[in-house]
Structure 1
Amino acid sequence: MAAKKKAVLFLAACLLGLAAYLYHAFCQQDNQEELVLQGNVDVREVSLAFRQSDRILEMLAEEGDRVQKGQVLARLDTRELELQLQRLNAEIAAQQSTVDKLHNGTRPEEIRQAEGNLRQAQAAAEHAAGVYQRKRDIYTSIAGISQQELDNAYHDMEAKQATMSVAEAALQEAKAGPRQEDIAGAEAGLQALRNEQLRYIYLLSQYELQAPDDGVIRSRLLEAGDMASPSRPVFKLSLPGKKWVRAYVPETELGRVYEGQQARVYIDSLPGKAIDGQVGYISGTAEFTPKQVQTEELRTSLVYEVRVYVDDADNVLRLGMPATVRIVR
């Protein structure tokens, strides 16, 4: 009886040992099929700055605000630009009047005035010609006047005839109206002013800083009264698109990782809950002693940066949050 009992105990011990061995082997196989990495969450960010340099008039968003695409976040002082635009509008109005005048042609009143000037010039020329003729007759018949007087009468007649010719040309010009070249030049000048007006309107629109996409304000870097410029960001905006975990793979494990490989991401605030992802980027250059590493072994090894992109539908991942990545072979 005792021998039988010992045999049963021995068999039970063997079975327990076999179960322990199989469990250990299974765990080792499972560990070999997964590559465990430590990393941090990254998100896409945009640094928002004004295109123009001027003083900030209003700041309309705070850190943590959710903003929508096209929402105005800040404004610059536009008073100087608005005064310049008003002056340009006045120049456009003046040039428009000039173009309208050229298109309308010569007014009837101006033609009648030109005709009156011509009649006056003709009368003066005829009178001067008569005076010269009489003085010429006197000079040749009885020599009653000097040569100087005769010459003066002749020059006066020529001057009056020249004035009449000018009046005739002015009347013809008034009847013909403006030249097409003058009209085209005036219209080109008007178009140039209008183009300049559009440029000023565009510059005014750039005095408002708008969100390029939906997102969350992460940093408010300037305040109202500060001088803005293209090189000084005003806000940092986090975009709600793809998020990823930046991790580092040892050189000896690099062959186990490839683009498109499935992975699971875990965070401390949700223990046991996996977030699905996949490997989307593998660096082609090894780094030595990266700035952020999670284990002592990696600090003295050549490592490669890997980005595991995730679909964070519940929006639980935050920038810089530590995460554990399990890459399935």
Structure 2
Amino acid sequence: MPKRAIIIAVIAIGIAVAAIFTSGFGLWSGEDAPPEFYGNVDIREVDLAFEQSGRITHMNFDEGQRVEKGAVLAVIDQQSLSDDLRAAQARLASAKAQLVKSRNGNRPQEIGAASAQLEQARAQLRQARSEYERRRGLVASGAVSRAQFEQSRESFDVAQAAVDSASQQLSLLRAGSRREDIAANVAAVEQAEADVAQAKTQLGEGQLIAPSGGIILSRVQEPGAITSPGATIYTLTIDKPVYIRAYAPEPQLGLLAPGTKVDVTTDSSDKIYRGTIGYVSPSAEFTPKTVQTEDLRSDLVYRFRVVVQNPDSGLRQGQPVTITLVRTKGRKQASYK
């Protein structure tokens, strides 16, 4: 066989073998390649601030440190808040004591004292009446002057008024507190309880608590600074759960049912992250400029969310990623353009 023919045959065999192992150099395959989508890891940040003003006494974390949900990040001076709480608790104790007093009524000793005062007033009335009657019989004969008679009558009237007053006082003590007074005391207790609850809330607001786990992105203030309500103290990035925001054109919406399994990859690592489609937007929007797709940027797309099942530090917020649908055995992939 001529040498030229041998060379041509070897080349032909090599091309055929390469075509087999590369599925026709990518031009044919036993099945369609799974569709890919492009997106970014969601940026989830929260600015944390006190709801009270005061001087910061403690800043417990630095930038880059991880914190758990419920961790105390910072503290402001709580002396005035503690004083307010103690004052509110004292007012509550006083209001409760007044309520108990009004419900229990007056003590027997108080009723006994009022009864004794009434008897004393009655004795004085009898004496004044006797003197008045005596002088009234003598004033006509001139044995007693008109002035002395008028004085005895006034004393009698005063004694009668004292008996009436003592009688009314004893009646009030025996009747006890009015329903209106008891209701007012109940309201005073409720108001005092609300003041205590508010003071406790304000005291708790003297601590800045992490609302969720994450990484401290920035530390804005330092101990000794005087802060005001709403002023940022820390910025926290929320790293769990990890969400990915991606976009798909309308012809591919049929592939993106919630619960669909996907693989997530990045350009910086060979690791494959497992994820699940958790949400598909009901409305269309224009492709954001930060998302790289093969379609024109002016095309309308639908946003969807992927929840990553096995996140780690390799996925950083804002990082571009590629999402690939996981093939399900026995399920034919829908065609797409």
If the length of structure 1 is used for normalisation, what is the TM-score? 0.79
Match of 1:319 among 306, 312, 317: 317
Instruction: Describe the shift of the 1:226–1:285 C-alpha distance in structure 2 as closer, same or farther (beyond 3 A).
Output: farther
Which consecutive residues of structure 2, in runs of 5 or more, have no partner in the other structure? 327-332
The equivalent of 1:73 in structure 2 is: 73
Contact 2:242 2:311 in 1 (8 A): no
The equivalent of 2:206 in structure 1 is: 207
Cα deviations by residue, 1:9-37 (Å, 9 ceiling, x for unpaired): 66555544544555454623459523344
Cα deviations by residue, 1:253-294 (Å, 9 ceiling, x for unpaired): 6357423444322223323x3222243334444444624133
Q: Residues of 2 paired with 1:159 and 1:16: CA distance?
A: 137
The equivalent of 1:294 in structure 2 is: 292
Instruction: Describe the shift of the 1:146–1:56 C-alpha distance in structure 2 as closer, same or farther (beyond 3 A).
Output: same
Contact 2:39 2:245 in 1 (8 A): yes
The equivalent of 1:27 in structure 2 is: 26
Q: Does the residue aligned with 2:197 lie in a helix, a strand or coil?
A: helix
The equivalent of 1:192 in structure 2 is: 191
The equivalent of 2:92 in structure 1 is: 92
The equivalent of 2:244 in structure 1 is: 245
Instruction: Describe the shift of the 1:221–1:285 C-alpha distance in structure 2 as closer, same or farther (beyond 3 A).
Output: farther
C-alpha displacement at 1:122, in angstroms?
1.9
Instruction: Describe the shift of the 1:244–1:93 C-alpha distance in structure 2 as closer, same or farther (beyond 3 A).
Output: closer
The equivalent of 2:303 in structure 1 is: 305
Q: Residues of 2 paired with 1:216 and 1:238: CA distance?
A: 5
1:51 equivalenced with 2:45 (yes/no): no
* 1:161-172 matches, cutoff 5 A: 161-172=160-171
The equivalent of 1:275 in structure 2 is: 273
Instruction: Describe the shift of the 1:100–1:143 C-alpha distance in structure 2 as closer, same or farther (beyond 3 A).
Output: same
Mean alpha-carbon deviation: is it higher for 53-62 or for 18-27? 18-27
Cα deviations by residue, 1:198-234 (Å, 9 ceiling, x for unpaired): 221122112212122333222323444142324x443
Q: Does the residue aligned with 1:34 lie in a helix, a strand or coil?
A: coil
Contact 1:43 1:243 in 2 (8 A): no
Q: Does the residue aligned with 2:123 lie in a helix, a strand or coil?
A: helix
Cα deviations by residue, 1:52-87 (Å, 9 ceiling, x for unpaired): 344433222222222222221112333333232233
Q: Residues of 2 paired with 1:103 and 1:177: CA distance?
A: 12
Contact 1:254 1:304 in 2 (8 A): no
Cα deviations by residue, 1:155-198 (Å, 9 ceiling, x for unpaired): 33122112112223333444x26326345543442343123212
Q: Does the residue aligned with 1:27 lie in a helix, a strand or coil?
A: coil
1:320 partner amino acid = G
The equivalent of 1:126 in structure 2 is: 126
Q: Does the residue aligned with 2:241 lie in a helix, a strand or coil?
A: strand
C-alpha displacement at 1:129, in angstroms?
1.0
C-alpha displacement at 1:109, in angstroms?
4.8
Q: Does the residue aligned with 2:27 lie in a helix, a strand or coil?
A: helix
C-alpha displacement at 1:248, in angstroms?
3.6
Which consecutive residues of structure 1, in runs of 5 or more, have no partner in the other structure? none
2:159 partner amino acid = K
Contact 1:44 1:241 in 2 (8 A): no
% identical aligned pairs: 33
Mean alpha-carbon deviation: is it higher for 291-300 or for 58-67? 291-300
Contact 2:213 2:240 in 1 (8 A): no
- Higher helix proportion (structure 1 or 2): 1
Q: Does the residue aligned with 2:137 lie in a helix, a strand or coil?
A: helix
Instruction: Describe the shift of the 1:100–1:327 C-alpha distance in structure 2 as closer, same or farther (beyond 3 A).
Output: closer
Q: Does the residue aligned with 1:234 lie in a helix, a strand or coil?
A: strand
Q: Residues of 1 paired with 2:170 and 2:250: CA distance?
A: 99
